[in-house]
């Protein structure tokens, strides 16, 4: 092997090493982008789930308020009947 061919082989090896390094770097960057994309999609999915839970929470709060109002109406109505019954009994006794 002569100095010229040795230099050429070293230069060729150097180019191959550089190509391999660049190829590995591109692969690493591509893998990082893929991982970031997966994280982004998961984050968006979690955000959608949180929004759905918030909507369900709001709906349950509304239902709870309506149920309390209905219970209050029933209680007040029952109380009015009781007052009416007492009034009727007193009227009957007073006769």
Amino acid 15: pLDDT:
87
State pLDDT tens for residues 16-50: 899 999 999 999 999 999 999 999 999 999 999 99
State pLDDT tens for residues 66-89: 999 988 888 777 767 676 676 676
Structural domain includes residue 88: no
- Which residue segment(s) compose the domain that 40 sits in? 1-68
Structural domain includes residue 60: yes
End-to-end CA distance of the chain: 137
**CA 7 from centre of chain:** 61
Structural domain includes residue 18: yes
Does the pLDDT value for residue 90 go beyond 80?
A: no
Whole-prediction pTM: 0.55
Structural domain includes residue 94: no
Structural domain includes residue 17: yes
Structural domain includes residue 81: no
Structural domain includes residue 73: no
Q: How many domains does the chain have?
A: 1
State the Cα–Cα distance between residues 3 and 95, nearest whole angstrom. Answer: 136
Structural domain includes residue 39: yes
Q: Which residues contact 1 (CB under 8 A, 6 or more apart)?
A: 9
């Amino acid at each position: 092997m002569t100095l010229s061919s040795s230099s050429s082989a070293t230069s060729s090896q150097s180019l191959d090493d550089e190509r391999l390094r660049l190829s590995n770097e591109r692969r690493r960057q591509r893998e990082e982008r893929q991982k970031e994309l997966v994280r982004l999609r998961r984050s968006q999915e979690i955000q959608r789930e949180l929004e759905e839970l918030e909507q369900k929470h709001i709906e349950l709060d509304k239902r709870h308020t309506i149920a309390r109002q209905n219970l209050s109406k029933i209680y007040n109505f029952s109380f009015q009947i009781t007052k009416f019954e007492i009034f009727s009994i007193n009227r009957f006794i007073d006769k």
